[in-house]
Structures are given as C-alpha cells and as structure tokens.
Chain A
Amino acid sequence: MKLPLTYNLRSVTIRWRSTLATVLCTALVVAVYVVIQSLAVGLEKSSGNTGDPRNLLVIRRGATAESTSQITPEQYRIIRYFKGIERDATGMPLASSDLSLVINVPRMQGGEANAIVRGVSPLGAKLRPQVRLTAGRWFTPGKREVIVSERLAARLAGMQIGESFKTGPATLTVVGQFDGDRSAFDSEIWMDVNEARSIFDRENFSSVLLRPVDDAAREEIIRQLDGDKRFKLRGLPEELYYLEQTGAVKLIKILGNFLAATMSIGAVFAAMNTMYAAVGARTREIGTLRVLGYRRKTILAGILIEGAFLALLGGAIGCALSFFFNGWSVGTLSFETFSESVFDFRITPKLVAQGLAFSIVVGLVGSLLPAIRAARLPVISALKAT
C-alpha cells in the first residue's frame, strides 16, 4: 500500500520552527556552494571566451605567460613573412607584435593593483575583434595616450577618460574606454607597442599574434617554429593559450569543495535533529499507520521523502539567494600574469542543478537514521506513546 505523498509533505509544515531552521540552514549551505563555484565558472568563462579561433599566438618556449615571454625584433621580422599568413587589403601580413607587461596602479579604495599594459601594433586591434571602443577615442601613437577596459577602469583610480597616471618615466593619459566582451582583455590597458617599448625600456616584444590563411597553414607555421632550434619559440592557437591561464580556478574549486563538504555535515546534523524530533512527535501517528496496514518500507520511504523535500526546499531558496551575486564582477590576482584579472560570478543551469542535487543528498542522509527508527517502531508501544 502506498502512503499518500501529501501526508509527508504536509507533515513538514507542522513543526515549523525547527523545519524553518533546517530549510534555512540547507539554503545557506547550497548558496555558499553555488556562489563559490560560480566564481570558478566565471573565471573559466572569461579565459575560455578570449581569443579568435583563427589566430595563432607565438611566445617563447618555456614561458608560462605573455608577460614573461620575449621575442626579438629580428625574430618578428622573420615570422611576419612566414608563408601562409593572411594579408589585409594593402597586402600587409596580418601579424601583430605585442608587448605585455605589469605596472602598479592605485586602486579606487586604496592600496595598489597590478595591471597589464598591452602595447599593440595597428594590426593588433584588427586581430582582436572582441575589443570594442565604447567611449572616447583610440590612442594616438607617440602622444603618451592609452585606452582602458571599462571594467578595469571601474576598479582603479585615475582611469576615467581625461585623467592621467604616472608610470616609469612617463605620464599616460586615458583617451578612451573599451569593452572586452567578457574576455581576459577586460583586465588590460592598451597603448602603442613601440611607445611602450621605449617608455618601459624593452628591446624585445612579448608575443606575436598572427592569422594563418587556413588550418593547414596554421599547422605548417607551428611546425616551422618547433623545427627551428635557434628560435626557441612556440606557436599555439590564441584560444588555447587563454584556456591555460586558469590556475586560480583550481584553488577556488578546492575552497568551494572544502566549504561545501564541511558545511554540509552541519546541514546534515540540522536535518537529522529536525527529522528525529518529527519522528518522535509522531510516534503514535506512525503506530496508527502501521495498524492501518502500511508496511515498514513505506514508512521508511515516506520519512526519507519528507527529509529530501525539506532540504530541496532549502536548496531552491539557496539557489535563489545565490542569484544576487550573478553577474557581479570581482577582481583577484591571476597566478599566471601576476596581475589583477577581472571576471564575473556566473551562475549556470548546471550549477543550479548541482546545488539542488546536493541539497537532496543532504536531506536523504540527514533523514536516513530517523527514518530507520520510525520504521522499526514496535506497533503496540508506538500506539501507547503520549
């Protein structure tokens, strides 16, 4: 005989005080889990969303980031005239030599941040269509001008259009802001590459970005770079390079899992308390059900469902709570570039599903022992219970 589900579901609301505590407790645990994982997802998405699938990035072999890579002007001249690189309308190869370096900039709320300055050549912008100017104008080479990502400008002091900041021997003026389309470029300041080389006293470039005509040409260029022992350079798809820049993701995930695991024990305790109390208070009711012919198994399943429902309710509230964070942008240290990287909390359907599943598990584990106890109650003494 099946126990009507409504019996268990309605029982949940009877002891509302402890039920509420359990629901809220599960809600908070699930919210913490979802929020922290969404941080990892946001960082992954920002890295995964960077680059153009047609582009190839060339960096020094062994370098883990552009900022620690070096390419000499001679190497650039050779690479630029490799076969199989697309050309623009004027016949110039679509290749850009960039300089990437880290500078200290004051933060809006005090303290200092490391920010990436990218020196780009005129073709560099064409190769990165993700970057769109949203305010002001493009920098003029030679005029000590820069453009800044909107999202970075919101975090740093002196980065609004018309303001200027001092770094090294130069004072740079912000003349425009851009949107990086939620990519790693959202953490950058851009200026002319040769101007950057002279200001920061760098003879070499950091990287070369180029666009092969097709996949075969791309493979050929990668092979050519690998084969040339003098070069000590490595070519890889631009998208792949940014995908690898996610060392912090691992750390955030570890933090998230550690918190979820530990806090869930607390939530299980809370659920257990509530369910034990629920079973204790309903001893006579359960005895009656048994007399009516309900099987032990049915009672067990009923209590389990009750616990799972309770926790699921909490899980749903938790997921709803976590949506307050969705899209909120944060910045923290990137381990690869040693600079501030800006990204968002991203709550995905998958994360919500994980959060809900997690809450059901908490509910089931928490109500298992009380359910067994309820199922084992001897009928006669249960009926006698006050």
Chain B
Amino acid sequence: MSLGGFILKNALRNKRRSFLTAGSVAISMFLFVTLQVALREMTIPPEDVSASLRIAVRNKISLANTLPARQLPAISRLPGVAVITPFTFFGGKFKDDDSLGFAQFGVDPEKFLRLFGEAKIPADQLAEWKKTRDSCIVGKDTAKRYGLKIGDRVTLVGTIFPVDLELKIAGIYEGTIDDTNMWFHHKYLDEAMNNWGKVGMWWLKAENAGVVPDLLRRINAEFASTSAEVRAETERAFQMSFVSMWGNISLLINSICTVVVFTLALVTASTMSMAIRERFRELAVLKALGFRRRQLVACILAESLGLALAGALIGVGGAAILFSSGKFSFFPVFELTPRIAGLAFLIGGLLGVIAMLAPARSVSRMSVVQGLKTLD
C-alpha cells in the first residue's frame, strides 16, 4: 500500500467520525463565507464600470433634504460636465408590499442612458419611454418578481411624497449591477406635486476622469453660503457614506465570524485527538517497524489537513452554488469573491494544522512500549 493510500484508509476508517468532522468544518465555513459576503455587500457596495465618472450632488444637511430645481443651469455650465439629470428617490409602495419592494427614481429620460450607459434597453422601448410622460422603465429582476410586462399600469403609493404615481411600463432594462430599479420622468413627479420646483439630488457625469476633482470642488463652491448648500462627491464616495450608517452591525458580524471559527476549531481539534488517541497502539507498531517520528507526524498532518480541507471545500462550494442560483437574493448581488473563498480555505487549512498539534505531540513523545500497552 502506498503512503497516500494508507493515509486515506486511516482518514476513512471511522467513516462516521470523518463525516462529522468534515461536516462541522463545512458548516462553519459556509457560515463564515455567508457572513463575510453579506458584510462585503454592506461595506463595499458593488460598482458599475462607468461609476468613476459619475458624481452625486446632494443637500449638505443630509440626503433627506431636497435641492432647488433652479440649481440646474448653474451646474450644467461648469466646465467638464458631460450630462446632468435630476435624481429623486420616490420611495413608493407597490401593491400589497408592506415595505418598499424596490427603488423608484425620477430622472430626465433624455439623459438617463448617457449617465447609466451600462443599462441595456431595446431602442423602441427607450423611444416610447422618452415620448410618454407618465411612463417608466423597470429592471428585469423587478419585472420578473412582480410579473410586470410592457404596457402594464402600476400605481406607486407615496410614503415620502404626499402623492401617488400612476405609471405605464414602457420598457424593461438589464445589464446594470442592480437590475431592480424603476425610472420615470422627473417632470411627471414635479407636475403631480403642483410644480414642486425641487429635486432630491443631481447626478452628473464628468467628461473625463481628470476633471472630476476640480468639478467636485467647483460644484461645492458654487452654492456655498446659499440657502441650499450642496455636497458633491463621486458615486463611490456617495455609496461609502451609507456604509457608516450601519453603525455597530459590521462589528457584530465580524465578532460572530470569530466565534464561529473558534467553535469549529474546538470541535475539529477534539475529534482529531480522539481519532489519534484511539490508534496509539497502531502508531506504536509503526514506530517499532522503524517509521521515523517525522513520518508519523506527517501522516497525521495529512489526514487532519485533508479532512479539514474537504470540509472547507464542501462548505465554500455549497455556498458558491447556493449564491449563484440567485435564491439568496437578500442583497442585489450576493457575490462570493475569490478573496473570501481563499480566506475560508486558509482558515480551513489552519484548523487542520491546529487540530493535529496536540495529538502529534503526544505521538512523538510516546515510547514504543508505552504505546503498545495502550488499551483504549
């Protein structure tokens, strides 16, 4: 029998225990990966390709404060602005949802695609949307979830705005990082609000990356000491400002991850030492046959590492399959990154090593006679 075969036979001699050991590693790694992916979604929002050129402008007091619509010409004429649109979060409830099922925004349809170029929508649908003031386009994920088709009429009940919006679906788009949003004419909202004259935010696109820092500074300066001071920031910085709002939750999730990994280390270590102790006699025989201490330790290490890594493979693989099936759609993108998967395997491997330390020490210390006498 080859050495590899010997190790494999040993690892599987008590199939039940091997299963339980690998199983507990698998479950813990699954949890670890899930929590880390969730944490990543919370703290590092996914990014679209053209995001680096996009700039979000909001009221300096907070996002919940509006901006006057009259700011538009002042911003548009700044050098480096390629395109600008009003951008207002409507926050309407759809159908019987008791919470907001998806986000809806009022924008300028003429500018929309120039700003969010990654959205793919058939030309005829886009033309129809631009033409019809009370129409909207909706992401394919939301359309699928609510069974919406082109031509359907939907009513959004305003929670932030004191009006309800009746909208006709003109098109369905896809290809952005989060295909769940609904976009409608900002003018339509403005009219529904009796010529409101305000916008939630401005979103614009810079002509090239070089002008962005200067543009941000100019926009901020333009409205300094007016009644509506603004904060202009890149899309990335804007998203990151949401991260800070989660408060202590990220710390909590990280602590849980640590506890999970620690718990698992306990279980695996205790099982491994159990497995080794019960074959002390055999190991003593091997020693008597002339196997070196180093070889025995290597055998144990290979077995422990193998079981732990097999467990990690099942856990991480299971998570990868589950997340890619899209059933786990708590976040728009639930992505298992190579970094997180790699980290999980690293932890799994380390566990395998830690678990064999104690048993390996006792094996290398035991004398042949002592080992042969062991009963258990």
Contacts and interface: CB of A to CB of B under 8 A. Distances in A.
Interface of A: 17-18, 20-22, 24-25, 28-29, 31-32, 36, 39, 60, 62-64, 67-68, 70, 101-104, 107, 111-114, 167-169, 200-201, 232, 247, 259, 262-263, 265-267, 269-270, 272-274, 276-277, 281, 330-333, 335, 338, 340, 386
B274 A18 contact: yes
Given A263-B27, A335-B99, 17 more contacts: A18-B273, A25-B263, A25-B267, A67-B64, A101-B61, A103-B62, A104-B62, A111-B243, A112-B245, A113-B247, A168-B65, A259-B256, A265-B27, A269-B21, A273-B20, A331-B247, A333-B246
A73 B197 CA distance: 21
B270 A270 contact: yes
A231 to B, nearest CB: 11
Contacts of A104: 60-63
B246 A262 contact: no
B60 A332 contact: no
A269 B267 contact: yes
11 contacts: A18-B271, A25-B267, A29-B263, A60-B162, A63-B162, A67-B64, A259-B31, A273-B20, A273-B267, A273-B271, A277-B274
Interface of B: 16-17, 20-21, 23-24, 27-28, 30-31, 60-65, 91, 99, 157-160, 162, 164, 225, 227-229, 241, 243-249, 252, 256, 259-260, 262-264, 266-267, 269-271, 273-274, 375-376
B270 A18 contact: yes
B266 A21 contact: yes
B41 to A, nearest CB: 13
A334 to B, nearest CB: 10
Contacts of B91: 68
Contacts of B225: 169
Contacts of B243: 111
B270 A247 contact: no
A101 B64 contact: yes
Greatest chain A CB density within 10 A among B27, B157, B241 is at: B27
A267 B267 CA distance: 8
Nearest to A104: B62
Contacts of A332: 245-249
Contact of A331 (B64, B228, B248, B375): B248
Contacts of A70: 162
6 nearest A-B residue pairs (beta carbon):
A111-B244, A21-B270, A332-B247, A330-B248, A102-B64, A270-B267
Contacts of B20: 269-270, 272-273
Contacts of B246: 332-333
Contacts of B252: 36, 39, 330
B270 A262 contact: no
Contact of B62 (A20, A102, A262): A102
A113 B243 CA distance: 10
Greatest chain A CB density within 10 A among B245, B252, B376 is at: B245
A330 B21 CA distance: 36
Contacts of A67: 64
Contacts of B160: 63, 68
B70 to A, nearest CB: 14
A124 to B, nearest CB: 21
Given A21-B269, A31-B259, A101-B64, A266 B248 contact: no
Given A21-B269, A62-B159, A269-B20, A28 B262 contact: yes
Contacts of B249: 332
Greatest chain A CB density within 10 A among B30, B262, B270 is at: B270
B99 A247 contact: yes
A357 to B, nearest CB: 20
Contact of A168 (B61, B245, B248): B61
A34 B157 CA distance: 38
Contacts of A114: 62-64, 245
Nearest to B269: A21
B375 A62 contact: no
B60 A168 contact: yes
A330 B247 contact: yes
Nearest to B25: A266
Contact of A269 (B23, B65, B244): B23
Contacts of B262: 28
A273 B245 contact: no
Contacts of B62: 101-104, 114
Contacts of A113: 244-245, 247
Nearest to A20: B270
Nearest to B68: A201
